[in-house]
């Protein structure tokens, strides 16, 4: 039987593709009216920030899972494409709905659009309500003593932590009331989100399970097995030391409140004390995500412009060949190549290695961070405007609280320190698997016999380094000095 007791509520799904801990959905159900869930493919609104290739693959799986979850609760996901304002207007007409609820997004293009939509709906007497599903705290809830935004992480984290735990997440509803007749929907397969010719997504399919259930399972295994050791293991890409929740968080298949409370509960049951070190460090990484959103909201130009204005004059190098070698994992630096190949194969890369490869691109090759950001945007399943641009600017030295430009990562020493037995490099650069000891991070230092026994001819089976790191480092520091001196 339908619950058609009045004009329906349009529930506009966006980057909140879940049923639990979804305040807009809960509020829609609370009205007692039928709910019309809709997802708008709004690439036109997003412009050059429409999802990249790997994200489109993920989105397909996530929408499929959401549609199934809605169907099992008596509802149906309506898919439409176009400008969100037009699509919502059409649906209001078709369904007779008098309210639209959604959870907020924070990308500059989305906040501007949503504000315009809200104003226009309200002017026409339509109730438009937005909620927070994506963050522990809204970007405007955390302020410095002067009432401004933070630009430094540690005081931001203290302020966030000082507000205490976020609200406990609500479980998913058992039923979602549907109107007698639902509007027409487009067919997800017709959107052709996954790649076809060529189908490069085999590694993604093998690695990930998009959707709310996949997210919950990933969280459960992380809090059971790894969160307590997170502080010790999170920097070692050869181990499963991190949560791998980033794509699930990006698409809102799980929310940070759920992650936060699960981590705290795991800490309490393991030690009887609220905050073992592993849990506390993990929460602080969740806070880095909050910080990135805080920056993007308050400094909406960060996707394009350096946060430190002096970097606008940095003399970046136009190096198409270097960029290509980096993208393809052929730089001759094993830890860099391993990271770039992991990214290509799985749509994800370990955070330590993201820092190493990003530093290599912007400092050793002097290629603009925006080129690296663009590649990540297309290839990461967790590509996220806030996290990606804030992190690239952090590595480049032009961002808030950034790693100082003169601190240039040495890819060989980073490999030796964070992949001490070479497990990670051997996994992703199999041509080096028979090199032993430290040579796996610097094959050009191996003796000719050693290389021969490992079956490697440098330049044939694996590239010679495309730059000499010591020389490249010096060159980068000179350019940095020139920028500082203003010439």
Per CB under 6 A, residues contacting ligand FAD are: 234, 242-246, 249-250, 285-286, 288-289, 292, 351, 354-355, 358, 376, 380, 382-384, 387-388, 391-392, 395
Give least dist CB 390 to ligand FAD, A: 7
Pick between residue 62 and residue 99 the one whose CB is nearest to ligand FAD.
Answer: 62
The residue from 288, 305, 410, 431 that is catalytic is: 288
Give least dist CB 44 to ligand FAD, A: 22
The residue from 141, 217, 225, 285 that is catalytic is: 285
392 noted as active-site residue: yes
> Is 382 one of the annotated binding-site residues?
yes
Give least dist CB 380 to ligand FAD, A: 5
> Is 245 one of the annotated binding-site residues?
yes
> Is 75 one of the annotated binding-site residues?
no
b/e burial code for range 258-283 (CB count within 10 A of at least 16 → b): bbbbbbbebbeeeeeeeebebbbebb
Strand partners, 101: 11, 129
316 noted as active-site residue: yes
Sort strands 35-41 and 78-81 into parallel, antiparallel or unpaired.
Answer: parallel
CA dist list (Å): 359 to 105, 143, 251, 384, 443 = 29, 31, 27, 19, 20
Give least dist CB 396 to ligand FAD, A: 9
290 noted as active-site residue: no
Pick between residue 199 and residue 285 the one whose CB is nearest to ligand FAD.
Answer: 285
The residue from 191, 280, 305, 316 that is catalytic is: 316
Give least dist CB 208 to ligand FAD, A: 12
The residue from 351, 416, 431, 444 that is catalytic is: 351
388 noted as active-site residue: no
Nearest to 157 by CA among 347, 331, 400: 400
What is the Cα–Cα distance from 279 to 260, expressed in whole angstroms?
Answer: 9
> Is 154 one of the annotated binding-site residues?
no
What is the Cα–Cα distance from 86 to 84, expressed in whole angstroms?
Answer: 5
> Is 230 one of the annotated binding-site residues?
yes
Lookup: tokens for 28 = 């829609």
Pick between residue 31 and residue 414 the one whose CB is nearest to ligand FAD.
Answer: 414
Judged by phi (left if over 0) then psi (alpha if -120 to 50, else beta), residue 131 lies in beta
What is the Cα–Cα distance from 225 to 230, expressed in whole angstroms?
Answer: 10
Pick between residue 97 and residue 223 the one whose CB is nearest to ligand FAD.
Answer: 223
Contact 352, 403 (CB under 8 A): no
> Is 13 one of the annotated binding-site residues?
no
Pick between residue 400 and residue 454 the one whose CB is nearest to ligand FAD.
Answer: 400
The residue from 208, 369, 375, 377 that is catalytic is: 369
> Is 246 one of the annotated binding-site residues?
yes
Give least dist CB 244 to ligand FAD, A: 4
Lookup: tokens for 26 = 């809960």
Pick between residue 11 and residue 134 the one whose CB is nearest to ligand FAD.
Answer: 134
Residues placed in the known binding site = 230, 242-246, 282, 382-384
- Active site members: 285, 288, 316, 351, 369, 392
Residues placed in the known binding site for FAD = 230, 242-246, 282, 382-384
């Amino acid at each position: 039987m339908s619950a058609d007791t009045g004009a329906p509520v349009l529930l506009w799904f966006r980057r909140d593709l879940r049923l639990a801990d979804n305040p807009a959905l809960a509020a829609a159900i609370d009205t007692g009216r039928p709910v019309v869930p809709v997802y708008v493919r709004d690439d036109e609104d997003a412009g050059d920030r429409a999802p990249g290739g790997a994200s489109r693959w993920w989105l397909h799986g996530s929408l499929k899972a959401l549609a199934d979850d809605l169907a099992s609760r008596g509802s149906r996901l309506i898919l439409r494409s176009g400008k969100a304002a037009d699509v919502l207007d059409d649906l209001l007409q078709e369904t007779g709905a008098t309210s639209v609820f959604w959870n907020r997004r924070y990308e500059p293009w989305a906040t501007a659009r949503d504000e315009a939509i809200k104003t226009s709906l309200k002017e026409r007497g339509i109730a438009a309500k937005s909620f927070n599903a994506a963050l522990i705290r809204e970007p405007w809830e955390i302020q410095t003593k002067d009432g401004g935004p933070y630009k430094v992480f540690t005081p931001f984290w203290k302020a966030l932590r000082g507000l205490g735990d976020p609200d406990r997440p609500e479980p998913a509803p058992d039923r979602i009331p549907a109107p007698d007749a639902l509007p027409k929907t487009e067919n997800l397969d017709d959107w052709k989100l996954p790649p076809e010719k060529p189908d490069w997504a085999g590694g993604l399919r093998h690695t990930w399970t998009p959707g709310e259930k996949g997210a919950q399972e990933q969280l459960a295994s992380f809090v059971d097995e790894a969160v307590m050791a997170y502080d010790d293991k999170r920097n070692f890409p050869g181990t499963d030391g991190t949560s791998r929740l980033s794509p699930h968080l990006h698409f809102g298949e799980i929310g940070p409140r759920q992650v936060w409370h699960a981590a705290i509960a795991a800490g309490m049951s393991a030690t009887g004390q609220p905050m073992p070190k592993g849990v506390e460090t993990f929460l602080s990484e969740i806070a880095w995500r909050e910080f990135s959103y805080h920056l993007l909201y308050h400094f909406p130009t960060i996707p394009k412009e350096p946060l430190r204005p002096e970097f606008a004059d940095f003399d970046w190098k136009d190096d198409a060949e270097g960029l290509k070698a980096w993208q393809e994992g052929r730089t001759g630096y094993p830890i860099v190549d391993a990271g770039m190949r992991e990214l290509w194969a799985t749509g994800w890369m370990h955070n330590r290695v993201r820092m190493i490869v990003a530093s290599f691109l912007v400092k050793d090759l002097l290629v603009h961070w925006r080129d690296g950001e663009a590649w990540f945007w297309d290839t990461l399943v967790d590509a996220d405007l806030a996290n990606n641009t804030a992190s690239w600017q952090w590595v480049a030295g032009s961002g808030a609280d950034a790693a100082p430009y003169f601190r240039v990562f040495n890819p060989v020493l980073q490999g030796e320190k964070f992949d001490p037995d070479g497990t990670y490099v051997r996994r992703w650069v199999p041509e080096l698997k028979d090199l032993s000891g430290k040579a796996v991070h610097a094959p050009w230092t191996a003796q000719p016999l050693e290389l021969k026994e490992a079956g490697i001819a440098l330049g044939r089976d694996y590239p010679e380094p495309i730059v000499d790191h010591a020389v490249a480092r010096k060159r980068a520091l000179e350019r940095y000095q020139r920028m500082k001196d203003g010439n």
